[in-house]
Amino acid sequence: MKVTTKVWLLKKRQKKNGKYPVKIKVIFNRLICFYQTGVDLTEDEFKDYHSRKDLRKQFDDIVYYLNKADQIVKDLGRNFSWKEFDALYYNRKSTGIQINKHSQSINIVIHLEDYAKKFIKYFFKRNIFKSKRNPL
């Protein structure tokens, strides 16, 4: 599926100064998520922010975040996931999903084995499997 990125004026959330936040709208599998840019504009400013010289800094910030989102989408390619996109967009630690370069798929078996090991450690630490009334 194709991932689409757009600049969007979020009119649902008007701030006290009468401006609206400008967001990056990301669409994947008909699911829409908005990502912050830190820029607030009025409706009139948003219509012509790319041509007005007094809004040059806001224009540069918006273009920076739009290019960042486009680059992340391009880097993830066919392996796009919201979790990875969030981690890369907000410069958080990546989840470390292992990708098999030959099949371009996520190796789920490794993740399930890790989860099972953590699950067993968690319950044995709390002696949930060992009971005085009904020992295993």
Kindly report, residue by residue over 64-105, the tens digit of the pLDDT: 999 999 999 998 888 888 888 988 998 887 655 544 444 444
Reported as a single tens digit per residue, the pLDDT across 6-59 is: 999 999 989 999 999 999 999 998 899 999 999 999 999 999 888 888 889 999
Q: What distances in angstroms separate CA 10 from CA 24, 57, 82, one per listed residue?
A: 10, 19, 20
pTM of the model: 0.64
**Domain definitions of the chain by residue range:** 4-95, 98-136
Rounded CA-CA distance 36/42 in Å is 16
Helix (H) or strand (E) holding 86: helix 82-89
